[in-house]
Amino acid sequence: MALASPCLPRAGSPLVIVVHGGGASNISKDRRERVCQGVVRAATTGYCILKNGGSAVDAVEGAVVVLENDPEFNAGCGSVLNTIGDVEMDASIMDGKDLSAGAVSAVRCIANPIKLARLVMEKTSHCFLTAHGAARFAASMGIPQVSREHLVTERNLRHLEKEKKGQQKTDCEKNLGTVGAVALDSKGNVAYATSTGGTINKMIGRVGDTPCIGSGGYADNDIGAISTTGHGESILRVNLARLTLFYVEQGKTLEEAAKTALEYMKSKLSGLGGVILVNKKGDWVAKWTSTSMPWAAAKNGKLYCGIDLGDTRVTDLKVS
């Protein structure tokens, strides 16, 4: 993780970005460093967008694009496969300044669904497009299609085969992969972005929490921004993102709100998951109930990252 030349924040609101690489029941030894490097790259990319005057929306989109392009994560290239071995992806993004939002679901043959979600937010009067409608809109916006082979990895082909043979873990343990980011920019605006390939061996057309505003994420300058990950059906049932921010509105700290919401979901539904949050003061937190959650954060020239509970590395933030 040695990097070069300091990337320091400007005056004004503190610049903050936090990213996650999805909750996980297990990350193999050979993948741990690659996953850690992936979230660090995403956080560094997003932070330097902020440092160079970009908005919180720019930063979260940029960070998530890095993760969508990394085959180690369940989003974009590296998405898990549905029952017939195809990739169907979901994504959403939200600007806390005015509550504008965009989302897409069941997207195929597009490298970066988060870019399409942002176009829905900025170029249409709608919040959410799905399947064929999303594909037609993507074409009208000049987004090129990519081949199925570009998105499908050998690792996920093996995982699908194991799932069909009943060798995977239980539903609430295995379906935890999502990527996301939250950010605070120099103008005091917050934003979130979340993207996923969904759950392995899912039915064709299944849509989880990720594109659903209030479940997969939420952003409001007056409260904060949040991106969630975990068992999608559980997250949907409790509206995890908005539930967590409701606890913030009640006066809980970000840490307390995250813990309370995640424990509620676990106690009611046995649903595991994780959240990342930031508020307009620059406070942030990464919390999870799954076995682990790769995450990274950048603030005031410092880089923080970890995978397991109690495992946090702190270094000076530098970029090449």
Whether residue 18 has pLDDT greater than 70: yes
Model confidence at 9, pLDDT cuts 50, 70, 90, reads very low
pLDDT value for 152: 95
Question: Span 236-252, mean pLDDT?
Answer: 98
pLDDT value for 23: 85
Question: Span 196-225, mean pLDDT?
Answer: 97
Phi and psi torsions of 100, nearest 5°? -70, 145
CATH of domain 16-316: 3.60.20.30
Model confidence at 166, pLDDT cuts 50, 70, 90, reads confident
Whether residue 170 has pLDDT greater than 90: no
* Residue 234, SS3 per DSSP: helix
Give Cβ neighbours of residue 137 (< 8 Å, ≥ 6 apart). Answer: 116, 119, 120, 124, 129
Model confidence at 177, pLDDT cuts 50, 70, 90, reads confident
Residues in the chain: 320
Better-predicted residue by pLDDT, 39 or 318: 39
Give dist(CA 286, CA 284) in Å, integer.
7
Whether residue 3 has pLDDT greater than 50: no
Whether residue 160 has pLDDT greater than 60: yes
Model confidence at 92, pLDDT cuts 50, 70, 90, reads very high
- Break the chain into its structural domains and give their ranges: 16-316
Quick: pLDDT tens for 293-313.
999 999 999 999 999 988 899
Poorest-confidence range of 6-10, 17-21, 117-121, 156-160?
Answer: 6-10
Average model confidence (pLDDT) across the chain = 92
Question: Span 174-180, mean pLDDT?
Answer: 76
* Exposure string over 223-246, b if 16+ CB within 10 A, otherwise e: bbbbbbbbbbbbbbebbbbbbbbb
Catalytically annotated residues: 178
Strands 100-107 and 128-130: parallel
Whether residue 94 has pLDDT greater than 90: yes
